[in-house]
């Protein structure tokens, strides 16, 4: 029993140590000129760092406020050769929802899942969606 517990604890510790360097890497720094939502978390306009937390998760962190949001992502290869990193938002009226992060230079695209809140807003706005793109630094 103790041997199994030690093995599990060692595996968990190694996973944590491996993921720590990943969280220090910034995928993008972007200034978003409007309030937006990541999942169920409302974020105010400002400058944000987008950091990978693990292979299929990101953290969106405000650089000035102590506010951040965590989201799972589905990654895929980029189909175009855009040179810059950019964030893509779904817009319904005056509400913006982060939907994907394109890393540029063939770095891939990270798709965020559609939250329950976004689905409700989309239905209330007669399903009219506009894409808004914000370039990262």
Q: Does residue 58 belong to any structural domain of this protein?
A: yes
In the chain, the largest separation of any two C-alpha atoms, in whole Å, equals 58
The band of 102, judged by pLDDT with boundaries at 50, 70 and 90, is confident
Q: Does residue 8 belong to any structural domain of this protein?
A: no
Q: Which of 25, 26, 19, 88 is nearest to 55 (CA)?
A: 19
Q: Does residue 4 belong to any structural domain of this protein?
A: no
Point out which residues pair with 71 in neighbouring strands.
58
Q: Does residue 6 belong to any structural domain of this protein?
A: no
Q: Does residue 78 belong to any structural domain of this protein?
A: yes
Q: Does residue 11 belong to any structural domain of this protein?
A: no
Q: Given a cut of 90, is residue 58 above it in pLDDT?
A: yes
- The helices-and-strands tally (H runs, E runs) of the chain is 2, 11
Regarding pTM above 0.85, the answer is: no
Residue 47 tokens, joined: 């400058």
Q: Does residue 16 belong to any structural domain of this protein?
A: no
- Tokens 């972007």 sit on residue: 30
Residue 62: what are its φ and ψ, rounded to 5°? -70, 130
Domain count, the chain: 1
Where is mean pLDDT largest: 15-19, 23-27, 57-61, 76-80? Answer: 57-61
Q: Which of 74, 132, 78 is nearest to 104 (CA)?
A: 78
Q: Does residue 129 belong to any structural domain of this protein?
A: yes
Q: Print the domain residue range for 131.
A: 26-135
């Amino acid at each position: 029993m103790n041997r199994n517990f030690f093995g599990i604890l060692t595996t968990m510790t190694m996973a944590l140590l491996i993921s720590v360097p990943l969280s220090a890497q910034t995928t993008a720094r972007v200034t978003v000129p409007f309030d937006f939502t990541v999942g169920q978390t409302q974020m105010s306009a400002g400058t944000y760092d987008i950091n990978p937390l693990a292979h299929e998760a990101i953290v969106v962190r405000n650089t000035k406020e102590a506010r951040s949001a965590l989201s799972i992502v589905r990654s895929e290869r980029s189909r175009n050769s855009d040179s810059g990193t950019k964030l893509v938002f779904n817009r319904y009226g005056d509400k913006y929802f982060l939907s994907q992060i394109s890393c540029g230079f063939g770095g891939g695209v990270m798709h965020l899942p559609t939250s329950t809140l976004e689905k409700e807003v989309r239905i209330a706005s007669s399903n009219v969606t506009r894409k808004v793109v914000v370039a990262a630094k």
